Structure 1
Amino acid sequence: MTHTTVPEPGPPDETAVSAAGKLSEALETVERARGHLYSFHQLIGGADFAAEEAAELLAQAGHKALADEVMTEIVGRNVLPGRWTYQVVDDFDATYYEPFRDLERRVRDRLTGGRKHVYEARLKEMRRTHGRPGHEATPEDG
């Protein structure tokens, strides 16, 4: 049985590295947006429980009608038609985040051999002062 060795791709050209880096940068922005979406999810959940506490306090203060209104109008209410925030997060992940992340990985696999931050590594090498403390190429060089 013979094994065929697939040759490693040569170093990617600058335009390919820039393209992969730009797509990775875009994914980083999507990651940040996703974090804000999770913040939204948690903030709305906290507000829902706080509204329930407010309803309980209204009832204790003798304002049963107002307490009932808070409980029926706000507590447990959808944030979008038919959706609580966890459903918004799940839909975002399935519809946008996961396809974006998968495509970014495929582009990186093809253009940089799967290596992350090739653009930044090249930039670091160009901008650092060789031989100067605090400008080492890797932690092992320090």
Structure 2
Amino acid sequence: MTDDAPQPRPDDTHHDHGPGGSAERPDAAHLPPDGVSDEVVEAVGGVTAAFEVVEHARGMLYAFHRLIGRADAELADALDRLAAAGHPDVADDLRAEVVGRNVLEGRWTFQVVEDFDDGYYRAFADAERRTRERLVGGRRHVYESQLKERNRTHGRPGHEARPEA
């Protein structure tokens, strides 16, 4: 944090509004506990940022799951139309080869998603949470809160630390 930015502490419970009011101070849930260094806050923020990349990848995996399911259904529909248009042999060959096929050996996409969720994702999520609990009292986005305090224009509309209480 910069020297000229307010340095609120978790016990800061003022509820006044207006200039310097509660919306001008971060909430206690986003402040580092007493005695936690900026270096620790930044490092924990890096762990969380890495996990957020995994969250993004997880969303893409779910999108992949949905898109493959949609493609399979659309292909089955197209093959029904192809058969009705007089080419049942071509439709049957394609249906036997592709519709309902595993995307990985022995797995449909729902199984890939479940394996990912139950393995890598759960391990990373639990490790990130434990790291926050051990080092910053379980608080989330402490580093980002400090960034916000450094980068916002204090006292200007649209630059409040948080919503009015």
* TM-score w.r.t. length of structure 2: 0.76
Pairing 1:80–2:99 present = no
CA deviations over 1:91-126 (Å, ceiling 9, x no partner): 111121010000000000111101101001111122
Task: Name the structure 1 match of 2:152.
Answer: 128
| Structure 1: segments with no counterpart, 5+ residues | 1-8
Pairing 1:55–2:84 present = no
| From 63, 71, 81, the counterpart of 2:95 | 71
CA deviations over 1:46-79 (Å, ceiling 9, x no partner): 1101111111111111111111112211110000
Distance, in Å, in 2 between the alignment partners of 1:12 and 1:118 is: 11
Distance, in Å, in 2 between the alignment partners of 1:128 and 1:77 is: 52
Task: Name the structure 2 match of 1:4.
Answer: none
Task: Name the structure 2 match of 1:101.
Answer: 125
Distance, in Å, in 1 between the alignment partners of 2:92 and 2:83 is: 8
% identity of equivalent residues:
58
Residue identity in the other structure for 2:52: E
Whether the 8 Å CA contact 1:130–1:136 is kept in 2: the answer is: yes
| From 143, 149, 165, the counterpart of 1:119 | 143
| Structure 2: segments with no counterpart, 5+ residues | 1-32
Task: Name the structure 2 match of 1:139.
Answer: 163
CA deviations over 1:21-64 (Å, ceiling 9, x no partner): 00110111101100000110000001101111111111111111
Please say which of residues 122-131 and 38-47 is displaced more in the overlay.
122-131
Task: Name the structure 1 match of 2:3.
Answer: none
